[in-house]
Amino acid sequence: MHATFNDLERARDQVSASSMGGAPFLISFGATLFITALLSFYLPVNQAALVAMFQGGVALPIAFWLERRMGSGPMSHDNPLRPLSVQLAMSQVVALPAVIVAYSLNPATVPVVLAAIAGGHFLPYAWLQRTRVYVALAVAIAVGAFLIQIALGTRAFPFVLFYMSLLYWSAAPFLYRNAARLRGTIQAAAA
């Protein structure tokens, strides 16, 4: 059976409502990036770069916990966008080799590479989560981090991470409100 346009729109609404628009992920990753930036003032750059590369291992479980605490509901198992949602969420993992290459060439460039990957990762979420906030976030992260790196060179490490945190935390309330609005639409349609 083929999904109709309305089915697809409802599926997208449910994806956004069930993930709170991705706000919990931006909040938790923003926190771990911020902590990594602080640590970079005390650790040698190669150690700080390793922390930056793997801070997601701490951020991810916190994001899932926060998602539940924010009242997200589960995505239905028959949602046709479920596989796409999972694939988009995991897309950053395939970029790990680029981060490893950056680390091996110059550990100080790891944050700007992470920012470029995040920018590419966020673009498809504009469609999936039904908000242009992700387009603005993607462009601001990638371009801004690049400009910080160019301006500060090897001293850019913590400032790129602080910048990413600021953008993540700035976007989170807008994404949360959008998801809450879509959640209300879903509940009203079900009533």
Longest dimension (CA), the chain: 58
Segment 145-189, tens digit of pLDDT: 999 999 999 899 999 999 999 999 999 999 999 888 888 777 777
Give the predicted TM-score (pTM) of the model. Answer: 0.90
The pLDDT of residue 7 is 82
89 or 73, which is more confident: 89
Residue 3 pLDDT exceeds 60? no
Segment 128-140, tens digit of pLDDT: 888 999 999 999 9
Q: List the single range of 54-63, 68-77, 123-132 with lowest mean pLDDT.
A: 68-77
Say how far apart CA 12 and CA 4 lie, in whole Å: 12
79 or 21, which is more confident: 21
Residue 62 pLDDT exceeds 80? yes
Task: Give the SS3 label for residue 72.
Answer: coil
Average pLDDT across the chain, whole number: 90
Q: Are 133 and 141 in contact (CB under 8 A)?
A: no
The pLDDT of residue 1 is 45
Residues 6+ apart with CB under 8 A from 141: 115, 118, 119, 122, 163, 164, 167
Residue 113 pLDDT exceeds 50? yes
Domain count, the chain: 1
Segment 64-87, tens digit of pLDDT: 899 888 876 677 778 888 888 888
Task: Give the SS3 label for residue 131.
Answer: coil
Q: Are 131 and 150 in contact (CB under 8 A)?
A: no
Q: Domain range spanning residue 128?
A: 5-190
Q: Please count the other Cβ atoms lying within 10 Å of the Cβ belonging to residue 141.
A: 25
- Which one-letter amino acid corresponds to residue 93? V
